[in-house]
Amino acid sequence: MPPAPLIDLSILDMDNIVADKEAIYSLLPHRYEFERLDRIVYFKHEEEDLRIAGYHDVTDDEFWVRGHIPGKPIFPGVMMVETAAQLVSYASMTVCDKKDEFLGFAAIDNVKFRGGVAPGQRMIMLGKMEEIRPRRCKGTTQGFVDGKMIFEGLITGMWL
């Protein structure tokens, strides 16, 4: 049985854009086919509790569709992890003073895939920052499609 959502999905307003692609990628260096976040729609930072939600609309013209899997394209799990990592990076970069440094992968733990994402679907990614320190950050993440959890994992990043 999956854990409870980090953020109540019913309170997310997909029309309330906290950050569009331009704002997201003003902080993140990813470009072209590696821009995994389309919008941030929730950002709440109160004392030690930082929670964030964003989404990626999976389209049929993405680079992986042709080969993963022909006739039944499924968004690769590694791309779900990348989307989660970008969400954690955006949250960390927003609240820290290291905006000119690169935040790279350090670890991924407790990852579970619970379903798939197909072209035409919206994957909502939720995050809760567990720690943001001078050398690293950690965030618990969850991915949802149509209200169903399809992904969860703990992402650790380190400034390089």
**Which residue, 93, 89, 94, 68, is CA-closest to 79?**
68
Q: State the Cα–Cα distance between residues 132 and 88, nearest whole angstrom.
A: 10
Contacts of 64-70 with C-beta under 8 Å, sequence gap 24+, read 65/119
Q: What is the C-alpha to C-alpha distance for residues 57 and 124, in angstroms, rounded to an integer?
A: 9
Token output for 77: 């799990």
The full length of the chain comes to 160
Residues recognised as catalytic: 68
56-57-58-61 Cα dihedral, nearest 10 degrees = -120
